[in-house]
Amino acid sequence: MEHIENDNKYEGLAVNKGVAQPPAVNPYLNKIRKVRRRQYTAAEYTEHILKGDITVLSQAVTLVESNLPDHQILAQEVIEKCLPYAGSSVRVGITGVPGSGKSTSIDAFGLHVLKKGGKLAVLAIDPSSELSKGSILGDKTRMEKLSVADNAFIRPSPSAGSLGGVARKTRETIVLCEAAGFDNIFVETVGVGQSETAVHSMVDFFLLIQLAGTGDELQGIKRGIMEMADGIVINKADGSNIEKAKLAQAHFRNALHLFPPTPSGWIPQVLTYSGYYEIGIGEVWNMIDEYIAFVKKNGYFEHKRQEQAKYWMLETINDQLKSHFYQNSEIVSLLQEKENRVLHSIQSPFTAAKEVLDFYFGKIL
Amino acid sequence: MEHIENDNKYEGLAVNKGVAQPPAVNPYLNKIRKVRRRQYTAAEYTEHILKGDITVLSQAVTLVESNLPDHQILAQEVIEKCLPYAGSSVRVGITGVPGSGKSTSIDAFGLHVLKKGGKLAVLAIDPSSELSKGSILGDKTRMEKLSVADNAFIRPSPSAGSLGGVARKTRETIVLCEAAGFDNIFVETVGVGQSETAVHSMVDFFLLIQLAGTGDELQGIKRGIMEMADGIVINKADGSNIEKAKLAQAHFRNALHLFPPTPSGWIPQVLTYSGYYEIGIGEVWNMIDEYIAFVKKNGYFEHKRQEQAKYWMLETINDQLKSHFYQNSEIVSLLQEKENRVLHSIQSPFTAAKEVLDFYFGKIL
């Protein structure tokens, strides 16, 4: 019985366990670091972030990503202090399956943005790192030009954790980056999982990178993603591939024409470009600028931002209500038993659900 | 304080309040009915249903739709007794916006099915009846031929209630109809709301009715529905409209080609037909037969049915966890307050969520 009570004890938002860091090459490194880096207060963090200090921004993001309760509390304080200074960037979600040339494209798009004189943060959401034990996205080495560019801040996906947890950390990192004066935020993700909905719910523009071809390239992409896109861009439109890319463009345009209108009133565009040869990069970005101007004028920009803020509050609540229930060990075994009865048509899904709920609320009320 | 405790008191699955019936023309009708119809036991209901008694089936469905606790208990007993005899029908979800000719099409498809010697039940999910104070779908008068056909059972959408509640009632009605020997079930819905996901989660084949034209007809349809469809059929392919319909068919085929493959391995088909002139009805139905044979062979049919049963159990649980939370009056006002803080960037969505959850679990634990 005591066991159950423990199970149900609410200890604040569940924080997902992290993955152990690989051993440092220099075993004394941590000691040295401890001596060198003293912990800032929330006010100090904020002060430095607002000045655009990238080293402190980086440390604050590490704090956001940390699963230690002390770090979490401090991180939330910093975020609250930064909030009034956040919100003024253009947030672009970029998705595409592996092989679509996402990194090369982000490199090219990023340089284009920086040439216009802005500051750019490249973040990522990659819950698949749960399996790969580390993030594969936002890797600096794959963005050759951006990684050495001034005014660019590249941060890999928070490693490991549930999608909700990873997405939350990325969303909070956006706040910090904006407070630090970054006026362009890219959020990168791979178009194969659930993470696109999360990304879609934190960006202003959702860009889908596709390839021309027989349709084989689409095999990996998830259904429903195409309908989320505010723009579809067909990569590798260069050399002998141009004609194929133009054909794909026509196909996608026709397909989008069959879709119902977007809630923003914007008609999603289809463009071709080459990330590697840097062809058509300006045109892609003009589309995004045009979109932003369009939705700022019709009020959808602000509306969407507000809906997103509400969404994240309610999503967090719903996630937490569920994990409180589904992580209870007695519920787990009861559910297993009920599921068997349902699958063998002994019990209807609804009475099964009712009995499990009766048990849950009977225990905790 | 006592007020709060009441708020949180768990009293079984929440049942949505129904809408009052319009006054009967004959004020004594209810009295007469009471005398005439005695209440069957669950065993008696089941016995009659298994014999295919449509009058008793109809009464049992009324029981399922009733919100009286006694009726609910009896209904669940009947459903459980019928469960072992259910599951052997082909369940087809049919959606399309108003004006696409859904009723005429269902009339034609239904007659075709009946000609082959089966029995057909036409059900509906229409949560919009919440607003219209009564169901507009499954109306017998709109299905002229089916309404007078033997072996056809037409039942309007359960009136009023949340989508979850309405969908649950329709899903339970499927069980009763199958036990009564109906080997074809149509579930009709209007493609503009959330109800398609619910329908998609209780049928074997999801049919989307479209019209040829400039795309204006699509204005009303919800994004994401096209990707759910196992088949898209273009209505009103008759007379001078045939060419336009063929063109639309080509467009939709191209569009579907760009979509990622369906989990069933089935390639969604696009066909043209005319519900009114009964042209191409057989071809549409051959497609559905072909699909059923295909998924029965590759095992997806059974797999999907099992996933659906699990889905409904978990959906019911998740719905209920949420309504227990969101229907608490203190939570409602706290959420309102937090939402304001979030929308004015005073608080982050995550700390706002955390504080509301702390309050909730602090109260009920």
Reading the block at residue A228, the tokens are 């989320």
- Quote the CA–CA distance of B227 and B293 in Å, as a whole number: 21
- Please provide the DSSP assignment of B287-354 as one string: HHHHHHHHHHHTTHHHHHHHHHHHHHHHHHHHHHHHHHHHT-HHHHHHHHHHHHHHHTTSS-HHHHHH
The minimal CB distance from A353 to the residues B80, B84, B313 is found for B313
Give me the half-sphere count of Cα atoms (radius 13 Å) on the Cβ side of residue B72: 14
Angle between helical axes of B349-364 and A300-326 (0-180°, round to 10): 40
Reading the block at residue B249, the tokens are 């068919």
B257 contacts A357? CB cut-off 8 A = no
pLDDT, tens digit, 9 for 90 and up, residues A315-337: 889 988 998 999 899 999 999 99
Give the range among A161-165, A223-227, A308-312 with minimum mean pLDDT.
A161-165
Domain A86-300: which topology? Answer: Rossmann fold (3.40.50)
Residue A314 confidence (pLDDT) above 90: yes
A-chain CB neighbours of B252 within 8 Å are 258
Give the range among A180-189, B109-118, B258-267 with minimum mean pLDDT.
B258-267
Residue A118 confidence (pLDDT) above 50: yes
- Quote the CA–CA distance of B202 and B187 in Å, as a whole number: 9
A-chain CB neighbours of B80 within 8 Å are 347-348, 351
Residue B28 confidence (pLDDT) above 60: no
The minimal CB distance from B358 to the residues A12, A76, A322 is found for A12
The pLDDT score that the predictor gives to residue B230 is 95
The pLDDT score that the predictor gives to residue B139 is 62
B339 contacts A313? CB cut-off 8 A = yes
**Alpha-carbon distance A342 to nearest alpha carbon in chain B (angstroms):** 7
- Quote the CA–CA distance of B313 and B164 in Å, as a whole number: 12
Mutation target vs A (from B321, B326, B327, B335; most A CBs, 10 A cutoff): B321
pLDDT, tens digit, 9 for 90 and up, residues A187-245: 998 766 677 788 889 999 999 998 886 555 555 567 778 888 999 999 999 999 999 99
Indicate the burial class of A186 (C-beta count within 10 angstroms; 0-12, 13-18, 19 or more). Answer: buried
Residue A313 confidence (pLDDT) above 90: yes
| CATH number attached to the domain at B38-85 | 1.20.5
Reading the block at residue A31, the tokens are 């000691």
- Quote the CA–CA distance of B43 and B61 in Å, as a whole number: 15
- Residue B207's identity, in one-letter code, is L
Mean pLDDT of chain A: 84
pLDDT, tens digit, 9 for 90 and up, residues B317-332: 998 899 899 989 999 9
Residue A289 confidence (pLDDT) above 90: yes
Class of domain B87-298: alpha beta
Question: Domain map of chain B by residue range?
Answer: 38-85, 87-298, 328-364
| Interface A-B: count of C-beta contacts within 8 A | 194
A-chain CB neighbours of B316 within 8 Å are 349-350, 353-354
**Alpha-carbon distance A3 to nearest alpha carbon in chain B (angstroms):** 15
Q: Is residue B237 within 8 Å of B280, Cβ to Cβ? A: yes
Complex-level ipTM: 0.78
Alpha helices in chain A, H assignment, sequence order: 2-8, 29-36, 42-50, 54-65, 69-82, 102-115, 129-132, 163-179, 195-200, 225-228, 242-258, 281-298, 300-326, 329-343, 349-364
Alpha helices in chain B, H assignment, sequence order: 2-8, 29-36, 42-50, 54-65, 69-82, 102-115, 129-132, 163-179, 195-200, 242-258, 281-297, 300-326, 329-343, 349-364
pLDDT, tens digit, 9 for 90 and up, residues A337-351: 999 999 998 899 999
A313 contacts B362? CB cut-off 8 A = no
CATH value of A39-85 in 1.20.1650, 1.20.5, 2.60.120, 2.60.40: 1.20.5
Q: Is residue B48 within 8 Å of B176, Cβ to Cβ? A: no
Mutation target vs A (from B249, B351, B355; most A CBs, 10 A cutoff): B351
The pLDDT score that the predictor gives to residue B30 is 55
Q: Angle CA(B256)–CA(B257)–CA(B263) in degrees, nearest 5?
A: 75
B12 contacts A220? CB cut-off 8 A = no
In chain B, % of residues over pLDDT 70:
80
B365 contacts A364? CB cut-off 8 A = yes
